[in-house]
């Protein structure tokens, strides 16, 4: 358990910024941070009247929990139930894994959450620290991922 933050970005079909957020969540686990990030992102997408949602997360564990559910006594059950409720409000919903190297904007915002005042901070315009990463995404700039080839 340690200090946790969350961050996310809502983009239009062409990749342009719709809204974003970062949050200081206090302390907890990385998985709690990922679950809260999903919930806050779904709420922001709903509030911005998105109808079709394609979610990318770098947490395979969270994605499996969303797709397969969890036990009634799981500590994240309530958050995942809220996510499930919000998912049903979209005409279409899909969630998939992406690597952290591709999820740069959300990663930057999540780190910003660690330094922010407690709570959720919503942005209708991209903050300066993500502009270059947003432009890289729009230009489909390739990102390097280092993997261990010795298996």
How confident is the model over 3-37, as pLDDT tens digits?
999 999 999 998 889 999 999 999 999 999 999 99
Inside any domain, residue 146: no
Q: Identify whether 147 is part of a domain.
A: no
Kindly state whether residue 39 falls inside one of the protein's structural domains: yes
Distance, CA of 68 to chain centre? 19
What is the extent of the structural domain holding 73? 2-138
In this structure, is residue 148 part of a structural domain? no
The Cα–Cα gap between 107 and 130 comes to 10
* pLDDT tens for each residue of 55-90: 999 999 999 999 999 999 999 999 999 999 999 999
């Amino acid at each position: 358990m340690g200090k946790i933050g969350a961050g996310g970005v809502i983009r239009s079909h062409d990749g342009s910024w719709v809204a974003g957020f970062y949050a200081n969540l206090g302390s907890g686990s990385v998985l709690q941070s990922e679950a809260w990030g999903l919930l806050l992102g779904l709420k922001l997408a709903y509030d911005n009247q998105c109808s079709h949602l394609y979610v990318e997360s770098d947490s395979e564990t969270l994605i499996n929990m969303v797709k397969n559910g969890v036990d009634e006594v799981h500590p994240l059950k309530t958050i995942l139930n809220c996510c499930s409720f919000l998912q049903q409000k979209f005409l279409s919903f899909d969630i998939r894994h992406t690597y952290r190297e591709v999820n740069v904007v959300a990663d930057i915002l999540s780190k910003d959450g660690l330094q922010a005042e407690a709570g959720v901070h919503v942005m209708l315009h991209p903050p300066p620290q993500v502009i270059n990463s947003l432009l890289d995404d729009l230009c489909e700039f390739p990102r390097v991922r280092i993997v261990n080839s010795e298996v």
